[in-house]
Structure 1
Amino acid sequence: MLRIAHVGEPPSLDTQITGGAIPTHILNNVYEGLFAMDSKFQPRPMLADRLEISQDRRTYTFTLRRGARFHHGREMTSDDVRASLERWGRVNVRGRVVFDNVEGIATPDPQTVVVRLKEPYALFVSEIGSYHSPAAVYPKEVIDEVAPGAPVRRFIGTGPYRIAERVPDRYIRLERFEGYASRAEPSDGGTGRKNAYFDAIFFIPVPDPATRVAGVQRNEFQFAQNIPSDEYDRIRAIPDLVPHVATIPFWAAVIFNNRAGVMTNRKVRQAFQAAVDSEAVMRAAYGPPRFWRLSPGLMPKEHPMYTEAGKELYNQNNPQRARQLLQESGYRGEPVRWMTSTDFPPLANAAQVIKPMLERVGLTVDLQVMDWAALVGRRVRPELWDAFSVQIPFFPDPVLMTPLQGNFPGWWTDRDGQAMIELLKRHTNPSVRREIWSRLQKRWYEDAGSLRLGDFFEMAVYRRELKGFFEAPTNTWWNAYLER
């Protein structure tokens, strides 16, 4: 048995709808899609056996693996895949964007799915195989029993673990799926062979970070997420514990509401952007420099698409310019309703540091602190908020990045920016894509679509006997085991 301490609970167990680190950490063990990402963030077959792409790159023919079974025992067929893809295209933020370009889906036989695109899309397979809110395959009957767009009521996938029980505010229990049909290839990131060595895995919400660390030390938990960086040296001195600093960064952001309220005024957004001293914020929120870095790039420095375009608008710390922009904006003291979360202390700490920076230049800030599930529930209603704090996970391509999506809460629909996103989707030449991406990132900064603070490297703590888990960019628990 494995027990994992989380900062909170996922808002839903419907992985097609919900995103973020907590649900991804749990649900990637439960659900699978046609493709998944390997350790180098390249898509590889998972429930698909093979894929043929037409010469015009508009027709994708997936041949399905035989023998893949759902947790309730039935073998997966093309009807399940079609229903799942179509639903993902209705309910998922990225899925809706992808399916604007889908002409149709055919199922000529139980093992074949044919997707026809209106225009070539270089990242179609990467989109459906993303780590975050992927196009997971559900049984068709689970989809059919709820209204279109509604969350599913039964949580049934094909993964190595199945959802056995959820007790709100206490735990989510996964059990080994004895009927799991693993791939034969070597494990690599989210792809290849998956071994379920644990009879059960418990995911337990523990909001207090000190309690999470103490629980791992007492062996009540074997792994705990989101540990404050100032605990690093103490944990390292404890023989049974290992502090784990992520190698793949998230980035800290404040998402602006571009659809309703005071932040629809571009000059107000630009004033917010100009007022912030990102270095002071990151130091206060994330501690010693080993856990964070300043960088203007929305893609990490380690990625070939990294660019510093727009860097003159990053980390400005320019109160004078912020005041001038506010004066030009016609701003009349309306409160900026800013949601942040107690479940992620660095986000709440960052907001507390930024608030006086904004007030110093004349912005009125209504800081609203709540748990993460409440924030996620409120952010889909644009009339309720003007900004919210968030940690953006790594995406293997900028097109997949949620803050750039016009239908992600924040609703960045800048015409020039969205046109460049469409260009990125169509082009496959790396040098052409890098040039487009540089222009797009610069435009995002110029429009102040949202605020980037910096990269951070999350810390976890685990028992030394826990082996085999993988950071991908969220931890996966197939192949993990306890060494006795």
Structure 2
Amino acid sequence: MRRRALITAVAAAGLGLAAPAVHAQSSAARTLRFVPQAGLASLDPIWGTQYVVRNAAALVWDMLYGVDSRFRPQPQMAEGHMVSDDGRVWTIRLREGLRFHDGEPVRGEDVVASLERWMVRDPMGQMVRALRQDLAAPDDRTIRLALSAPYPKLLHALGKQSAPCAFIMPERLARTDPFTPIAEAVGSGPMRFRADLWEPGRRAVFERFPRYQPRPEPADWLAGGKRIEVETIEWQAMPDPDAAAAAVASGEVDWLEAVLPDLAPGLKRNRSVSVGIADPMGSIGSLRFNHLHPPFDDVRVRRAVAMALDQQDYMRAVIGADDVLWRRIPSFFTPDTPLYAETGGEILSGPRDPEGARRLIAEAGRQGSEVVLLKATDLAPLKAMAEVSETLLAALGFRVEVAAMSWGEVAERRARKDPPSQGGWNLFHTWHAGADCATPAAYSAIRANGEDAWFGWPRDEAIERAVAEWFAAEDIATERAAVARLNEASMAFMTWVPTGLFLSYQAWRRNVAGIGKGPMPFFWGVSKA
């Protein structure tokens, strides 16, 4: 079916002109059918940092703390905590009655093992790990962390929404090597994962865990009472966005995490469907370089790509003609947030200079280099951005090999440090939620700490020095100055190239209530009539 014909059919489905799929009412009310942004190919939230993995993990595992919509960490599994006068010893007390899905109680030793595994992979966790003198469980409900120096942002680290989150697992799973996927998903959160029904990359089923004890406060992002109002949540991957839109229009599914902009008008005309912006803070598109191998191990080549890249090309490919849904950003940070800075961003905001870019590539001796571009074919924004990059890189004189695969396969391959000719890679596209890019606190992609950095493994002392200055800042003015230096250093080093900020639609059936806005889909409080 052609796109325009499908848009008409999507609208007609809500006007009585197309026959909707019918489900038994009793079953429909108990099951929420959700279409995620991509297929769920892994369920280890420490080994894999994809948003889709984080989103599923938030159903299965809980956290000691969770950030609310004002980015304040609130007690979650924790009953509370005490901090020594010198700020170096934290004592956290667990709530009573916490259980894993296998019926075993959540113990202090489980928390210790979970945090130790998380610390290896998470940038904030790595900071905690560098300061750690002791991490132990004096008893089953107590965790004691002794540091060599104060770390005032510890609760932000434990409660942040950016991947990898500090999810609490049974000790036997948490002792798994952080670079090896866990063998099973036994959680501490509100939903139990049905491994027997899992079709990796296609379908995942979660059942309400009756022994979960939600907090009494109202739910707010990752904080408060995570009360599940349905019995089952079924994730159905639909790589074809047209088919996904038709499915929510007909009632085959209840909620789409992402809707292509040109499909939104048809869905808005459907009386049975609601459409809205998923996250008002938007997402920052990213062209990510591998810094370990030529040609992008040379800063001149990375900057050359930035000189030639036009964010409008990428955003029009992702969004289409609706310019209201995107904006240029000469920054690595989220616009309209307190720390936003454009210092050093002239390389992205000034006139495009492809000729200058080609001269810079020649100066580096990298003209005609072969590059491997990973292209996720099942995520429309990433597929669109990769196609723009393929054209751009070819115009700059590179010989481009496009490795087309699913987003799950991209996630596996991007973790490889092998040369591109031996199964590695040079570039891939992703995006970062605006909530993750508002401050350096949980911003994994901004770091440049070499082997411990996010995929691409950049290393730059000026960037790391600016990050440290922000963490040490004691007032907002000092934080802003540190972020300005961080943006300037990141632009000079060109860790990766921001391809613009864009907003995304979500859609849901009108008989579904409680769907909110934020950097991830929050399922607690969502009900279905």
Report if TM-score (shorter chain) is over 0.5: yes
Query: Residue in 2 aligned with 1:415?
Result: 461
Partner of 2:519: 473
Report the equivalent of 1:388. Answer: 428
Check 1:378–1:97 CA distance in 2 against 1; reply closer, same or farther (3 A cut): farther
Conserved? CA contact 1:80–1:139, under 8 Å: yes
Counterpart in 1 of 2:301? 268
8 Å CA contact 1:32–1:136 kept in 2: the answer is: yes
Partners of 1:266 and 1:364 in 2: CA distance: 19
- 1:53-64 matches, cutoff 5 A: 53-64=83-94
Alpha carbons of 1:80 and 1:86: their partners in 2 closer, same or farther (altered >3 Å)? same
User: Who is 1:286 aligned against?
Assistant: 319
Residue of structure 2 in register with 1:180 after alignment: 212
Q: What are the Cα deviations for residues 394-447 of structure 1, in whole angstroms up to 9, with x where unaligned?
A: 315223212223321111211111122222223332211111111011110011
Q: Which stretch shifts more, 424-433 or 437-446?
A: 424-433
SS at match of 1:28: helix
**Who is 2:32 aligned against?**
2
- Of 71-80 and 17-26, more deviation after overlay is shown by 17-26
CA offset at residue 46 of structure 1?
Answer: 0.4
Corresponding position of 2:20: none
Aligned pairs, number: 482
Whether the aligned pair in 2 keeps the contact of 1:278 and 1:315 (CA below 8 Å) is: no
Distance of 2:304 and 2:40 partners within structure 1: 34
Structure 1 distance, partners of 2:118, 2:372, is: 31
Q: Flag structure 1 segments of 5+ consecutive residues without an equivalent.
A: none
Amino acid at match of 1:174: F
Question: 123-132 or 267-276, which moves further after superposition?
Answer: 123-132
Q: Does the CA-based 8 Å contact 2:48-2:411 persist in structure 1?
A: no
Residue 19 in 1 paired to residue 49 in 2?
yes
Give the aligned residue type for 2:262: D
Cα separation, 1, equivalents of 2:519 and 2:218: 18
Query: Which position in structure 2 is the counterpart of 1:298?
Result: 332
Pick aligned residue for 1:314 from 304, 328, 348: 348
- Aligned partner of 1:404 in structure 2 is 446
The aligned residue for residue 65 of structure 1 is: 95
User: Mapping of 1:421-460 within 5 angstroms?
Assistant: 421-460=467-506
Encode CA deviations 1:298-357: one digit per residue, 9 max, x unaligned: 221232111111220124421132122112212141112111211222222122223333
Question: Displacement, 1:78?
Answer: 1.0
8 Å CA contact retained: 1:101, 1:117: yes
- Give the alignment's TM-score, normalised by structure 2: 0.87
Secondary structure at 1:233's aligned position in 2? helix
Alpha-carbon distance, 1:249 to partner: 0.9
Hey, what does 1:259 align to over in structure 2? Answer: 292
Shift of 1:7: 4.1
Residue 39 (str. 1) matches residue 73 (str. 2): no
Give, in whole Å, the separation in 1 of the partners of 2:130 and 2:152.
Answer: 15
Deviates more, 1:10-19 or 1:453-462: 10-19
Give the aligned partner of residue 323 of structure 1.
Answer: 358
Residue 367 (1) aligns with residue 409 (2) = no
TM-superposed CA distance for 1:190, in Å, is 1.4
Between the aligned partners of 2:349 and 2:372, the Cα distance in structure 1 is 22
Q: Provide closer, same or farther for how the CA distance between residues 119 and 363 of structure 1 changes in structure 2, counting only shifts above 3 A.
A: farther
Query: Amino acid of the residue matched to residue 460 of structure 2?
Result: D
- Shift of the alpha carbon at 1:267? 0.5
What is the percent sequence identity of the aligned residues?
27
Paired with 1:108 and 1:198, the residues of 2 have a C-alpha distance of 38
Q: Is the 8 A contact 1:2 1:200 kept in 2?
A: yes
SS of corresponding position for 1:263: coil
Distance 2:301 2:125 in 1: 31
* Residues 42, 200 of structure 2: 8 Å contact kept: no
User: Is this contact kept in 1: 2:386–2:428, CA < 8 A?
Assistant: no
Residues 1:159 and 2:159 are matched in the alignment: no
Aligned equivalents of 1:20 and 1:278: distance in 2?
Answer: 23
Comparing 53-62 with 374-383, greater Cα deviation is found at 53-62
Whole-angstrom CA distance in 1 between matches of 2:373 and 2:145:
41
Q: For structure 1, which segment, 230-239 or 290-299, has the greater mean C-alpha deviation from structure 2 after superposition?
A: 290-299
For residues 7 and 219 of structure 1, do their structure 2 counterparts lie closer, same or farther at Cα, with a shift above 3 Å needed?
A: same
**CA drift at 1:150:** 2.6
- Paired with 1:71 and 1:342, the residues of 2 have a C-alpha distance of 35
User: Over residues 31-76 of structure 1, what are the superposed CA-to-partner deviations in whole Å (9 max), with x where a residue is unaligned?
Assistant: 1111101011111110111122233322221111111111111221
Q: Return the alpha-carbon distance in structure 2 between the equivalents of residues 357 and 177 of structure 1.
A: 49
What is the Cα-based RMSD across aligned positions, in Å?
1.8
Question: Taking structure 1 as the reference length, what is the TM-score of the superposition?
Answer: 0.95
Off by >6 Å, runs of 4+ in structure 1 = none
